[in-house]
A and B are shown apart, each in its own frame.
Chain A
Amino acid sequence: MTVTSVDKDVDHLTLTLIADFTAPVERVWRLWADPRLLERWWGPPTYPATFEEHDLTPGGEVRYFMTGPEGEKHGGWWRVTSVAPPTSLEFTDGFSGQDGKPDPGMPATSVRMTLTRHDGGTRMELRSVFDSREQMDRLTEMGMVEGLTASVGQMDDVLAG
């Protein structure tokens, strides 16, 4: 298993995940730093991501969209708060509206990612914090209602097919 540990702190709305890779730090960093590599893992295979802007400097912006099975596009953004290649990256990760601009009404999470040499490979520690409980509730609401609604839609397609 690549994922070594997962800690979920409900009181602080924080997920901490540790993953170990056999590859060296530089190569793992490149998965984040090269947008063409990043888009090969950021979105699930059914919702591949396309990064249109990718500025990993403090205050820099990253813009991307994920394309769904029906061709529908879901926009997202990062705002980079801190970066120290090839070992750490901090950013806020949120959703965009139809106009491609950050949607303040949508939930955002703050992500801190660090890479350290470990056992001849690389340890990636990832901490993701919901900006507020209200936003987290909104995400759950969306995940639960919209996500399941989407699944129901898919199921309908299968049954109709």
Chain B
Amino acid sequence: MVVDGVAAGSGGADETVDRLFHALADTTRRDILRRCVRDELSVSRLAATYPMSFAAVQKHVTVLERAGLVTKQRRGREQLVRTDPDAVGRARQALDGLESAWRARVDRMSGLLADDDAEAGPDGNTRKGPDG
């Protein structure tokens, strides 16, 4: 759903999608995303989780940030990472996802209704109801 949303945007959409896919095509980056969905975590705290240097983790975070998947906020000496900080944004995304699922279903329903075969069940067990 998110890919569709991004791809639907005009101008530089391909580049945006490339960045998004590149950002997601890595196990560590996907793990960072999962960890930072509910809690803000500092880069140093994240670095302690993975068997790699602080600088390497910081690079991963930068890739995610460029793809628009996380935001970084400086608090004191810490840099806090969060996956989509905006609850309203998340709600909108979830509702957008639900909307596209239902739009696709309604399209398929229309297709079936237009199809005369839909009148009878596959086992020939045609149900005749009272007029709606």
Contacts and interface: CB of A to CB of B under 8 A. Distances in A.
A3 B101 CA distance: 12
A128 B102 contact: yes
Interface of B: 1-3, 20-21, 24-25, 30, 33-34, 37-38, 84, 87-88, 90-99, 102-113, 118-119, 121-123, 127, 129-132
A156 B25 CA distance: 9
Nearest to B128: A26
A51 interface: no
Contacts of A14: 95
A77 B33 CA distance: 29
Contact of B1 (A13, A143, A149, A156): A143
Interface string A66-91: 00000000000000000000100000
Residue among B30, B88, B90, B130 with the highest chain A CB neighbour number at 10 A: B90
Contact of B130 (A13, A22, A26, A115): A26
Interface stretch (A37-45, A53-61, A95-103): A37-45
A155 interface: yes
Nearest to A139: B94
Nearest to A126: B102
In the A-B complex, the 4 residue pairs with the smallest Cβ-Cβ separation, listed nearest first, are A25-B132, A26-B132, A41-B108, A8-B95
Given A40-B118, A86-B129, A143-B1, 16 more contacts: A15-B95, A17-B106, A19-B109, A24-B131, A27-B119, A29-B132, A30-B129, A34-B121, A41-B105, A41-B109, A122-B132, A139-B94, A144-B93, A147-B1, A152-B25, A155-B21
17 contacts: A2-B110, A3-B103, A15-B99, A15-B102, A17-B103, A19-B106, A21-B109, A30-B129, A41-B108, A44-B104, A128-B102, A137-B37, A143-B1, A144-B84, A148-B2, A148-B3, A155-B21
